[in-house]
Amino acid sequence: INTLTPSSPTHGAMPPSPATAVHYLATKCVDTVKKPQQTKWFMPWGPNQCDNIQSFDEAMAKGIEANNIVFAVHIPLPNKEMSPWFQFMLFILQFDIAFKMYNQIADGALVHIDVGLAYRDDMNSEWTEMAHSLEQRKLSCNFTATKTHENEGRHYECDLLPFMEVGSVAHKYYLLNIRLPVNERKKINVGIAEIRDIRLVGIHQNGGFTKVWFAMKTVLTPSILIIMIWYWRRITLMSRPPVLLEKVILALGISMTFINIPVEWFSVSFNWTWMLLFGDIRQGIFYSMLLSFWIIFCGEHLMDQTERNRFSIYWKQVGPIVFGSFCLFIFDMCERGVQLKNPFYSIWASDIGTELAMAFIIVAGICACLYFLFLCFMVFQVFRNISGKRMSLPAMSKARQLHYEGLIFRFKFLMLVTLACAALTVIFFIISQVNEGHWHRGEHMVQVNSAFFTGIYGMWNLYVFAIMFLYAPSHKHYGDEQSSDAGVNSCEDIQPTTTITHVDGPTEIYKMIGQEAQE
């Protein structure tokens, strides 16, 4: 749920966009105190505005050293306030670097950054330090023009760099003070050319979208919870014990309820910086359960009566899903887990971290596509089994033949809906992972509007609701058939056409396909 794509403000009756990007230009403040006894915060504007300069040429003319310059950024822009409804803040850094013949960017140049983050809730109170860190970011810049004296002063084209991520927006105002300390003896910030300005892009979730999102979760939570309780009650009323498919459907309902519970409401009142990590964990559990359910759902309609209802036979399919989810969890902990203590940390800040992160994203996308192809193959096998059993329908009585024709049609429709749901889930997962990488790398992103985002979430809930409703055992019995049909016991109960369930198993289709597989 954290991978929301920033887009332009909405107009008219359009739903709120998931997130917004705001551009900031740092103000160059001058720190005249050599060794301050306590941390001093520099404001870029307002009544307590710092002494500032417009350019480094002015600093050189006034004899101001680079170590006395502080880049100050106030969040948000003047006459605005941040809100807990924004949920998170993600910042991307860009340097404006001028070309000089005598001071060029060295290969593999690292920028050492001394950065502090402070907050306050009114314009008159003192700033309170929230985080402080010494960070390094590798420059990746390209000078497109010819490196001659005539082109001095033109800017390099530099990649955007990951800078900061905060998992909650509990305060109204934030302040960033950034220093670029220079130490020629230790080779700190040497060979980075002439940095003239620092620009930041701040991304936060839109308050309007947050309210729509919370409202959806609040409405859908009791819906899934009620149908899940009703479903399991119907299972427990049966004389037989629940089979594997029914247990997995219950587990799917529990995972859907877990991701639905709107604990985000508390994040509006409490400074819970771990909500992004917790949201990732919840979504990961649901992904694992949903993908495992589809494998078992198709598999149980392929096995014969002696092989089905055993979870152990699915370890080759479910095992890789669990292992992949665990790897993604470890990857998430390596970044968002560390960011709980240091919001300036990013696994994308180093070459090894970037390569590892990109490898994770690429492998995850490939595995998702392979999973969908495998699921299509399983659905094809299920359809082939149904076609084999359908050959015996003409030998039945007209009423029973129509009954089974209806069951087969509804089951095939459900399988096609399952495939469609799986396809959209895989597409959404891949787009989310790609956007996650592009956010940190500063590249163009695939735009995901709020309709698609909330639509996928609503589709999951509707699908889980439909599965539990259709697979809840029916306790209504109809009169016995007077005639005996080929391959079907005459005393078998015919179920209402509103569901596809059967008292002797999860569904009549489930029982019928098991007999066909055994034959």
End-to-end CA distance of the chain: 46
Tokens of 43: 């404001």
Q: In angstroms, rounded to a whole number, what is the distance separating the alpha carbons of residues 287 and 285?
A: 6
Topology of the domain covering 208-471: Rhopdopsin 7-helix transmembrane proteins (1.20.1070)
Tell me how far CA of residue 198 lies from CA of 365, 389, 449, in angstroms.
34, 70, 30
Taking only Cα atoms into account, the Rg of the chain, rounded to an integer number of angstroms, comes to 30
User: Where exactly are the structural domains of the chain?
Assistant: 19-205, 208-471
Mean pLDDT of the region 136-157? 89
Give residues with Cβ within 8 angstroms of 399, minimum separation 6: 481, 494
Name which of 473, 515, 494 is nearest 404 in CA terms: 494
Q: In angstroms, rounded to a whole number, what is the distance separating the alpha carbons of residues 516 and 519?
A: 5
Contact, 162 vs 346, CB < 8 A?
Answer: yes
pLDDT at 356 over 90: no
pLDDT at 484 over 50: no
Backbone torsion region of residue 470, taken as left when φ is above 0, otherwise alpha when ψ lies between -120 and 50, otherwise beta? alpha
Half-sphere exposure at residue 78, Cβ-oriented, CA atoms within 13 angstroms:
7
Mean pLDDT of the region 379-386? 85
**What confidence category does residue 129 fall into, taking pLDDT thresholds of 50, 70 and 90?**
very high
Q: Give the torsion sign (CA, 202, 208, 213, 214).
A: positive
DSSP per-residue letters across 428-473: HHHHHHHHHHHHHHT-------HHHHHHHHHHHHHHHHHHHHHTSP
Amino acid at 15: P
Q: pTM for the full model?
A: 0.80
Burial label for 29, CB within 10 Å (0-12, 13-18, 19+), is buried
Give residues with Cβ within 8 angstroms of 245, minimum separation 6: 296, 297, 300, 309, 471, 506, 510
Q: What is the mean pLDDT of the chain?
A: 82
Three-state DSSP state, 155? strand
CB neighbourhood size of 498 (10 A): 11
pLDDT in tens, 397-435: 777 777 777 778 888 888 899 999 999 999 988 888 777
Tokens of 166: 């905060």
Burial label for 504, CB within 10 Å (0-12, 13-18, 19+), is middle
Mean pLDDT of the region 48-58? 86
Asked which of 30-44, 55-69, 142-156, 290-304 is least confident by mean pLDDT, the reply is 30-44
pLDDT in tens, 202-215: 999 888 889 989 99
Residue 399 vs residue 222, higher pLDDT? 222
Output phi, psi for 123, to 5 deg: -75, -10
**What confidence category does residue 116 fall into, taking pLDDT thresholds of 50, 70 and 90?**
very high
DSSP 35: S
Q: In angstroms, rounded to a whole number, what is the distance separating the alpha carbons of residues 367 and 361?
A: 10
